[in-house]
Amino acid sequence: MTEGRLGFEGLDACVHCGFCLQACPTFLATGDESDSPRGRIELMRALERGDLAVTDPALIYHLDRCLGCRACEPVCPSGVQYGHGLEAARARITAARGTTLLTRAAVWALTTPGVSGVVYWFARRLRSVLPRGIAGWGRIRFALGMLVATKGDRGRDEAVNGGRRRATPTASHRPVPPRTAQLFRGCVQEGLFSHVHEATKRTLSVNGYETREVPGQRCCGALHAHAGLLDEARVLARANIQAFGDGDEPIVVNSAGCGALMKEYGHLLGEERGTRFGTRVRDVTELLAGDGKGPVAGAPLDLHVAYDPPCHLLHAQRIGAEPLKLFAAIPLLQLVPVQGAAECCGSAGLFTLLEPEMSRAVLETKLEHLRHAAPQIVASGNPGCLMQLGAGLAAAGIHAAVRHPVELLDDSYRVAGRYE
pLDDT tens digits for range 349-362:
999 999 999 999 99
CB 222 within 8 A of CB 261: yes
**Do 145 and 164 belong together in one domain?**
no
In which band, very low, low, confident or very high, does the pLDDT at 403 lie, cut at 50, 70 and 90? very high
Backbone dihedral region for residue 283 (phi beyond 0: left; psi -120 to 50: alpha; all else: beta)? beta
**Do 221 and 145 belong together in one domain?**
no
Report the distance separating Cα 85 and Cα 92, nearest Å: 11
**Do 380 and 260 belong together in one domain?**
no
pLDDT value of residue 365: 93
Domain annotation covers residue 105:
no
- Which residue type does 298 have? G
Q: Above 80 in pLDDT, residue 166? A: no
**Do 143 and 203 belong together in one domain?**
no
pLDDT tens digits for range 172-193:
666 677 799 999 999 999 999 9
Structural domains of the chain, count: 3
**Do 236 and 316 belong together in one domain?**
no
User: Is the preceding omega at residue 177 within 30 degrees of 0, hence cis?
Assistant: yes
Continuous segment of H or E residues that includes residue 369: helix 356-373
In which band, very low, low, confident or very high, does the pLDDT at 292 lie, cut at 50, 70 and 90? confident
Domain annotation covers residue 207:
yes
Structural domain that includes position 175:
154-289
Q: Which residues contact 123 (CB under 8 A, 6 or more apart)?
A: 147, 150, 191, 192
Torsion angle (degrees, nearest 10) of CA 203, 205, 207, 209: 130
**Do 277 and 320 belong together in one domain?**
no
Q: Above 80 in pLDDT, residue 6? A: no
- Domain boundary (32, 67, 97) is at 97
Domain annotation covers residue 86:
yes
**Do 302 and 276 belong together in one domain?**
no
CB 69 within 8 A of CB 27: no
pLDDT tens digits for range 200-246:
999 999 999 999 999 999 999 999 999 999 999 999 999 999 999 99
- Candidates 243, 286, 278, 242; CA nearest to 262 is 278
Mean pLDDT score, 138-167: 70
Q: Above 60 in pLDDT, residue 155? A: no
**Do 210 and 147 belong together in one domain?**
no
Domain annotation covers residue 113:
no
**Do 318 and 281 belong together in one domain?**
no
Domain annotation covers residue 1:
no
Q: Above 70 in pLDDT, residue 164? A: no
Q: Above 80 in pLDDT, residue 380? A: yes
Report the distance separating Cα 313 and Cα 16, nearest Å: 26
**Do 145 and 205 belong together in one domain?**
no
pLDDT value of residue 173: 66
